[in-house]
Structures are given as C-alpha cells and as structure tokens.
A and B are shown apart, each in its own frame.
Chain A
Amino acid sequence: GEDVEQSLFLSVREGDSSVINCTYTDSSSTYLYWYKQEPGAGLQLLTYIFSNMDMKQDQRLTVLLNKKDKHLSLRIADTQTGDSAIYFCAVEGGTDKLIFGTGTRLQVFP
C-alpha cells in the first residue's frame, strides 16, 4: 500500500523560512495536500497542488512537487510563532482515499 513519510520534528527561528518535506511511494495521486493541526484542534486544509504542477504559491506558503522523486515540500516564509503546529501531507490512495503522512511537528522559537 501507499507509504507517506515525513521527518518528525523541525525547529526554526521566528522570521526564518521553514521547509517541511514529504515522500510517498505511489505516484497515482491526482492532488496532494497539506494540512495543519494545532493542539486540541482538528486538521486545517492549508493548500493543495495538482499533480501536473511543479509549484504552487499561496501568500507565505510555497508547495513544490517533484513527481520523479515522489517528493513534496511545503515552504513557509517568515515563520511566526502562530505557525507552530503539526503539519501533515496527504496523498490520494486507491479509490482516492486520503493517505496521511506521519506528521512533522514545527516548533518556532523567538
């Protein structure tokens, strides 16, 4: 089955850029997603990218997709303390069910 991996933890200084990486094994996903989960809350859809695109920019967020290497990344520019959360990438598995990555905990320090 589909395997989606992320690094567990990322720590950045406020104002710097953060890059969260995601690798997956199945390339059939039409759309790939990024979700944010703050403590005690549900998942917030941040952005998504169509599989025939290489890049998508949405304000401080930039998504890069390398289909050849099956690699997805999320760049957050000018990272703020409010960006501290767990970030999940998600790809569409068989029958378009979402398969979530393992999650990356982003910690922003002053």
Chain B
Amino acid sequence: DTEVTQTPKHLVMGMTNKKSLKCEQHMGHRAMYWYKQKAKKPPELMFVYSYEKLSINESVPSRFSPECPNSSLLNLHLHALQPEDSALYLCASSHNPPGGGNQPQHFGDGTRLSIL
C-alpha cells in the first residue's frame, strides 16, 4: 500500500474540460512533486513544492496549474489539455526538499489521464 494517495485513478476528459487531480500524504513530508509518465518511459518532473511554495517549474505549459493548499495536499488543475497530454500523472513526496540532503521520494499510484 502506498502512503501517497492520488485521486481519481482514471480520468477521461475532453479538450475543453476543466478537471483537477488530487494528491495527499500524511507522512509529514515537506516536499511534494508532480511527474508525467508516458508509456514505457521514465517519469518526467513537472513541478516541485517545498514548504508549500512552488520551487521548481520545469517549463510546463500553463494549461497545467499546480496548487498546494497545505502541507499534506497537492492539486494539479487541468484546462484545455491536448491529446498528447494523455499520460500517467504521478505525485510524490519526500521528507526533505531538493538540496536538503537524502530525500527518497515516495510515489502514489498515479492518475491515468486520457484526453479525447
């Protein structure tokens, strides 16, 4: 069982829809991450939040909008997505943020997103 919980597990949306992905952890971790993973590829980092502030944005298109309401929650708001955005979206958390020493990241099971 993963200690990082993501909802929903699957999401199908049209290109004009607005939806949100949610991630929750109760391990007291100070950093949370969003990754995008295409089939048969490694995860690609999108965003990093450290102490609830956005610290890294890997040049992600503005149709993806992250939000960190509190230290346990991380959202990814989606709007006007393209078919190529279909992928597995993974959330992760670590005790220390990047640059803070050993920070093994713990992953959720992801949301499989399909854009019609």
- Same complex for A and B? Answer yes
Main secondary structure of the interface of B (DSSP, over half): loop
B102 at the interface (CB under 8 A from A): yes
Chain B binder among A11-19, A58-66, A92-100: A92-100
Determine if B104 and A31 form an interchain contact, defined as CB atoms under 8 angstroms apart.
yes
Residues 33-78 (chain B) with a chain A CB within 8 angstroms? 40-43, 45, 48, 56
Determine if A33 and B41 form an interchain contact, defined as CB atoms under 8 angstroms apart.
no
Known contacts A30-B102, A31-B102, A98 near B107 by CB under 8 Å:
no
Determine if B104 and A48 form an interchain contact, defined as CB atoms under 8 angstroms apart.
yes
In the complex, A31 Cα to B55 Cα: how many Å? 21
B21 at the interface (CB under 8 A from A): no
B106 at the interface (CB under 8 A from A): yes
Known contacts A97-B56, A98-B45, A103-B42, A42 near B104 by CB under 8 Å:
no
Chain A residue with the shortest CB-CB distance to B40: A103
Complex contacts, B100 vs chain A, CB 8 Å: 96
Determine if A45 and B42 form an interchain contact, defined as CB atoms under 8 angstroms apart.
no
Choose from A31, A95, A102 the contact partner of B42 (Cβ within 8 Å).
Answer: A102
Q: Which of B40, B104, B106 has most chain A Cβ within 10 Å?
A: B104
On A, residues with C-beta under 8 Å from B are: 30-31, 33, 35, 40-45, 48, 50, 88, 95-98, 100-103
- 4 tightest A-B contacts by CB? A100-B42, A96-B98, A42-B107, A43-B107
